[in-house]
Chain A
Amino acid sequence: MNISWTWFHRLASPPHFFRLAGRLAPWFGWLALICIAAGLYGGLWYAPPDYQQGDGFRIIYIHVPSAYLSMMGYTMLAVSAGIGLVWRMKMAHAVAAAVAPLGASFTFLALVTGSLWGKPMWGAYWAWDARLTSELILLFQYFGFIALSRAFEDPRSGEKAAAVLALVGLVDVPVIHYSVVWWNSLHQGSTVFVGAGSDIATSMLVPLLAMIAGFTAFFVACLLKRIQLEVLERESAAAWVREVLEDA
């Protein structure tokens, strides 16, 4: 009991987290590289073309991980912002601020890859299908968070206000998802992608899992670096920073 709480409290301390993040980031970076390389080989070279979509389906290997990370990113954002708000942990707010641009990047990628996947499949660069529409609204939620946190003169107030927004937004995510799926099903036949839960061939699935793992490791690696930057910005006057500068 004591040991686990000590671990948690140490994590919440900026200098400890800063050093830990610096040490862990390269590991995740290499893990990402390996998984993505394996996934790319399996997905782009080894897996055969799809029966219906030919080679166009291969966008799945970047679209699905991006969409997954956009959602996971927002959840991390809201949870860490919420922890920062409720338990008044500075580190938590730093994590939220670091996640936001990363999550937004992957949301953007989900939209772009989804659009490029859609053009040959549905004939249009944009289609109001359930997933793309939810991703678009999610992008607005990310932008709102980032904009609100920067709009305040006092950054501490900004991050707290943005945290309230993120918590409200977290409740909103399933509501949006459900309403958009419902709305979409009324107006179009369901647009089912390859691998939308139905039987997906192993030769297609394994590279996809590798890409998801690789992208996630990449996300964590970038996140750790960003958190380091955030912590440094927020704590630049603190004594422990002096030591870090000497080590550098």
Chain B
Amino acid sequence: MKSLHEFLIMGGYAAYVWPAYGVTAVVMLVNALLPSLRLRRRIAELKRRADGGERS
């Protein structure tokens, strides 16, 4: 690759290469964040329930 311009247009295949990388990035991001988010939420929820029960 000689320049940023060349990088972006991907020799004319940009319309295929970049969407492919884009979809991949999105799917991987979702897979990376979703479990951690859900885990944190679940722990918080279980904690709330446990504390709530003990307080009674």
Contacts and interface: CB of A to CB of B under 8 A. Distances in A.
A58 interface: yes
Interface in A192-248: 218, 221-222, 225-226, 228-229, 232-233, 236, 241-242, 244-245, 248
A87 B23 CA distance: 39
A109 interface: yes
A116 B32 CA distance: 24
Contact of B23 (A45, A109, A218): A109
Contact of A116 (B7, B12, B16, B35): B16
B46 A232 contact: yes
Contacts of B30: 105
Q: What does DSSP make chain B's interface, helix, strand, loop or mixed?
A: helix
B1 A222 contact: no
Contact of A46 (B1, B16, B28, B38): B1
Contact of B35 (A63, A225, A244): A225
Contacts of A59: 16-17, 20-21
Interface residues of B, number: 27
B47 A44 contact: no
A118 B36 CA distance: 35
Interface of B: 1, 7, 10-13, 16-17, 19-21, 23-24, 27-28, 30-32, 35-36, 38-39, 42-43, 46-47, 50
Contact of B11 (A55, A101, A117, A241): A55
A66 B13 contact: no
A55 B17 contact: yes
17 contacts: A45-B1, A56-B11, A62-B20, A63-B20, A66-B24, A105-B31, A109-B23, A109-B27, A116-B16, A218-B32, A222-B35, A228-B35, A229-B35, A236-B46, A245-B47, A245-B50, A248-B47
A55 B35 contact: no
Given A59-B21, A117-B16, 13 more contacts: A44-B7, A45-B1, A46-B1, A59-B20, A109-B27, A112-B20, A112-B23, A113-B24, A218-B28, A222-B31, A226-B35, A228-B35, A236-B46
